[in-house]
Amino acid sequence: MDKARIDELIAAAFEVRENAYAPYSEFTFGAALLGMDGRIYTGCNVENGSYGLTSCAERNAVFTAVAEGCRNFAAVALAGGRDFIVPCGACRQVLSEFNVDRVILTKCDGSYKIVALKDLLPCPFSL
């Protein structure tokens, strides 16, 4: 994946982050998922007063992509805050289910690093 495509994915993650619904934590998060079909699918976190019903940005992006017919992905970019934020365990497992290989972690200052999902989730659940 070239730098222009990485930049496009990161920009999409930061853009969708603005749509996050986070009245309880005030922590907004965005995810942009690059499908093997070339399309970018986005998601943001959506909190709920019953915290267990909160849905993460990464899962929202995956579920949107699947609903639109895409099930193979090249990478996901995550936009959180001042520090690199990694996906929660549930999101790591969902990303693993769909073979997302690269996770692009970003900071608000524009810096980023790319990590392999297998380094974040070395022993995924599988059937």
User: Could you give the residue numbers annotated as active site?
Assistant: 58
- What six digits make up the tokens of 22? 């986070």
Residue type at 52 in one-letter notation: G
Distance in angstroms between the alpha carbons of the first and the last residue of the chain: 30
Nearest Cα to Cα of residue 57 among 31, 81, 25, 96: 31
